[in-house]
Structure 1
Amino acid sequence: MSERRHTDPLPLGTDEHPYSKGLMSRALMRSGVPVDRAYELARRIEQDLAARGERTADMDRIQELAADVLGEGDGGLAVGRLRRLQELDKLDLPIIVLIGGATGTGKSTVAAEVAYRLGITRVTSTDFVRQTMRAFFTPDFLPAIHYSSFDAGRALPSAQEEEVDPLLHGFLEQTRHVLIGVQAAIERSLEEGWSMILEGVHLVPGLLPRAVEGALVVECVVSIENEEAHANHFWIRDAASEGVRPLDKYLERLGDIRYIQDYIVERAQLEGVPVVQNSEREKAVGAVMELVLAAADRFQKVSA
């Protein structure tokens, strides 16, 4: 038995619990409808129920109203996702979402929003795993984990630096260590029946086992093709965190960060892992949600 994800049932209304436009707005936002349009459609449903003297909304009628308010295409997509989210909420299986990608591509923002829409309360990062490991392993014993992902080459012996690509080799050395902790986190999640979202640069396709029994596992990589847009993400993150992370350091090493991104994207393409472009947050979140819903659809068809 998996731990129930914290989602509300679709608020269509019953004799005991009348329709709520507030709850319907939230449900529509889960399906990717913008806040203002979600409230507009939820209010329209309320008005329609009042006009017809009904207390319970019907999905077919909601689809008609959605087409009127949102347009045929967007309305059909929104209601289709509502139906699929209903089915997903019935899934008695932990959901593990793995979101990889280079530093500064917006992984944590996407992960947080996807977690909200799926009702998953456990979200963690591979940087958190690495930080925890640093408390137990000294720089002398495990030097690679004591550097940033794009700086881990500094942990290599000087003789080795001349034989390999230090940037990439250092990153992979760090990744292999961190993935030990990541694997333990996934195993613990499965033991407890938890759903969780893991995000981080160390989730390199092909290095982490994708075949995990007893869970619906969805893996993807978040990427930013445009270098200027990538740099802007660091400015946005700096403003949001009030300068907690050293902005100049990331901008100075942007070339190295994007070099690692190229490697991760190439690995994703080789391993058949979807690459989600994060040029717009809502589109990126929608793409990851679609991957989860599609995986659930496939699982339910196989299980039927």
Structure 2
Amino acid sequence: MAGHAKLLLYIVVVDESGASSFRYTRSLLHSTLQLMGCKPRHAFEISRRVFDVVRGDPAEMEMLMAMSQGKRGVQRYELPDAATSPRQFQFELYKRRTTVLIPRDLFLHLVCQALALYKYLAPNQRNHLTLACRIRERKESVTVLLCGTSGCGKSTLSTLLGSRLGITTVVSTDSIRHMMRSFVDEKENPLLWASTYHAGECLDPVAVSEAKARRKAKKRSGVSSNSGMDYEGSGDKVEGKPIGKKQMAIEGYKAQSEMVIDSLDRLITAWEDRKESVVVEGVHLSLNFVMGLMKKHPSIIPFMIYISNEGKHTERFAVRAKYMTLDPTKNKYVKYINNIRTIQEYLCSRADKYLVPKRL
């Protein structure tokens, strides 16, 4: 009986087929409950109650076993028939004292019952718990994307979010860009070596204007980009209107983001193959490209992070300067604050268009 396991450290959840199982500790169950949305304090108390019930009153466990409709109930860890050595036997004996086996249906019922005591009564509560368990057991994965411009708090939030959800892999798109820079010289690709907020300075305004004019011409004529008609090679010169500084800042940002997104796409593919959950943050997560990634990777959940108050946004850049100043001559972020705010406006408009959740 479970009551004999005086020192319960592990609950081994066994699938119905018996082909696979997963070992939960209290801290791991605590993390799983937070992943499904429980408050940290409630997750701690619920995980403690689950272990107390499994370890505690045999009568209560008999009732729960009856609810499992004749299926296997809680079982003790069985010693192997032949131990390889006295040391191995002592280890197996320790596991017998600290481990119980429980069917998955009974485990889910027990946890949902504890959740109900703390008013977690969502209609799909059991489904949420099942999904959280699958993610924690690395049978499924989730990729959280935190989009936003420079200085809005993405890095801080990604670290806190990873800690809260129990996700150990947190990646910045800046690190991907830094890795790409090691393969190309600055003179060969100045766009890659520029910061996103002044990447537009590396582009030719005339070429950008003509490219935008060609895209508009295609749109008006109803010709898609892969239809086979080439406006560039047609011999007809398409002249566009002069582009302002704000639009050039956006075009430079989009051009650099496109370069980084290709590498990120391959990384997400590898993470999904390994069933590894990850939090990705970075300014290069342009919503247009994120929508393309979501079509290929169902594990992606995007969020848009922004700061509405320009004054507060500017003040955040003081700590990034060498001399803790807001002087534009000594703080490059303040110098390019107009470009940064322009990029944020662009991202917010894209988020509204694609119904991506936004957070201040």
TM-score (norm 1): 0.64
* The one of 175, 180, 189 aligned to 1:128: 175
Change in 2 beyond 3 A, CA 1:84/1:66: farther
Change in 2 beyond 3 A, CA 1:254/1:91: same
The one-letter code matched in structure 2 to 1:219 is P
Q: CA deviation at 1:47?
A: 6.8
Indicate the residue corresponding to 2:268 in structure 1.
Answer: 186
* Corresponding pairs, count: 256
Change in 2 beyond 3 A, CA 1:61/1:96: closer
Change in 2 beyond 3 A, CA 1:252/1:188: same
Note if contact 1:62-1:79 (Cα within 8 Å) is conserved in structure 2: no
Note if contact 1:94-1:214 (Cα within 8 Å) is conserved in structure 2: no
**Is residue 2:337 matched to residue 1:257?**
no
Indicate the residue corresponding to 1:153 in structure 2.
Answer: 200
Q: CA deviation at 1:149?
A: 1.0
Q: Deviations over 1:50-79 (max 9, x none)?
A: 885557882343134213xxxxxxx43696
Identity of aligned residues (%): 24
Note if contact 2:31-2:165 (Cα within 8 Å) is conserved in structure 1: no
Indicate the residue corresponding to 2:279 in structure 1.
Answer: 197
**Is residue 2:158 matched to residue 1:76?**
no
User: 1:229-268 to 2 correspondence within 5 Å?
Assistant: 229-231=312-314, 233-234=316-317, 238=319, 248-268=331-351
Change in 2 beyond 3 A, CA 1:273/1:114: farther
Indicate the residue corresponding to 1:274 in structure 2.
Answer: 356
User: 1:61-140 to 2 correspondence within 5 Å?
Assistant: 61-67=113-119, 75-76=120-121, 81-89=128-136, 92-116=139-163, 119-140=166-187
Query: Which blocks of at least 5 consecutive residues in structure 1 are unaligned?
Result: 1-10, 68-74, 279-304
Indicate the residue corresponding to 1:299 in structure 2.
Answer: none
Change in 2 beyond 3 A, CA 1:100/1:246: farther
Note if contact 1:45-1:65 (Cα within 8 Å) is conserved in structure 2: no
Note if contact 1:223-1:276 (Cα within 8 Å) is conserved in structure 2: yes
User: 1:36-75 to 2 correspondence within 5 Å?
Assistant: 36-42=41-47, 52=57, 54=60, 58-67=110-119, 75=120
**Is residue 2:112 matched to residue 1:29?**
no
Q: Deviations over 1:113-159 (max 9, x none)?
A: 44445554433222111111222222222111212111212223476
User: 1:170-185 to 2 correspondence within 5 Å?
Assistant: 170-185=252-267
Q: CA deviation at 1:160?
A: 6.3
Q: CA deviation at 1:232?
A: 5.7
The one-letter code matched in structure 2 to 1:202 is H
Indicate the residue corresponding to 1:4 in structure 2.
Answer: none
The one-letter code matched in structure 1 to 2:248 is P
* The one of 168, 175, 188 aligned to 1:141: 188
Q: If you compute each CA radius of gyration, which structure gives the higher value, 1 or 2?
A: 2
Question: How far apart, in 1, do the equivalents of 2:47 and 2:322 lie?
Answer: 39
Q: CA deviation at 1:29?
A: 3.4
Greater relative CO (CA pairs within 8 A, separation 6+)? 1
TM-score (norm 2): 0.55
Q: Name the SS of the counterpart of 1:136 in structure 2.
A: coil
